[in-house]
Structures are given as C-alpha cells and as structure tokens.
C-alpha cells in the first residue's frame, strides 16, 4: 500500500478467488463459505488499511447471476 500511495495508485483487493468456483456455482453452502471468507478478508484489509487513501475497495471475484428461478444463491448482506 505504501508503494501504491507513493505512486498515486488506488488498490482494489480481490477476495476469495477459488478456482473451483465453476464446480460449485449452484452450491449454496459452498458459496456461503466463500462469501464468509471474503467478508473476513475484507474486514482484515479494512482494519489494516481502511484509513489509507490508496484503498479503493474490494471485488468479490465470483460472478453470480440470478439462477434457480430468479432466487439469488446468497441472500444476505454484510457490512464491514
């Protein structure tokens, strides 16, 4: 982060990139575990770098669409 700040670069942190995602796209329990891992990582990043002007945010890498008859596989929200 220090190097990015010196260069004037914003940092977006990717969360919980698990290459097994395609195998588990419809598996609610697996997605929920990935979601919770991402939440925990985001909390750690925010605790350490939240005051840095360099931290732009994070990106949850698992792209989800409304599947299963329009019901989203992750139906709860979280805040840092």
Instruction: Let me know: does 72 contact 64? Beta carbons within 8 Å.
Output: yes
Q: Is the pTM of the predicted complex or chain greater than 0.75?
A: no
Give me the residue spans of the domains in the chain: 2-60
Q: What percent of the chain has pLDDT over 90?
A: 31
State whether the Cα torsion 51-60-77-44 is positive or negative: negative
Q: Is residue 11 helix, strand or coil?
A: strand
Phi (first) and psi of residue 7, to 5 degrees: -90, -5
What average pLDDT does the segment 43-59 reach?
91
Label residue 65 by pLDDT band (50, 70, 90): low
What average pLDDT does the segment 28-41 reach?
85
Instruction: Return d(Cα 58, Cα 6) in angstroms, integer.
Output: 20
Question: Mean pLDDT lowest for which of 1-5, 17-21, 51-55, 67-71?
Answer: 67-71
């Amino acid at each position: 982060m220090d190097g990015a700040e010196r260069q004037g670069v914003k940092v977006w942190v990717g969360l919980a990139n698990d290459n097994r995602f395609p195998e588990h796209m419809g598996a609610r329990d697996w997605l929920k575990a990935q979601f919770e891992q991402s939440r925990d990582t985001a909390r750690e990043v925010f605790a350490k770098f939240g005051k840095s002007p360099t931290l732009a945010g994070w990106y949850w890498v698992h792209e989800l669409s409304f599947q299963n008859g329009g019901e989203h596989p992750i139906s709860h929200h979280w805040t840092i």
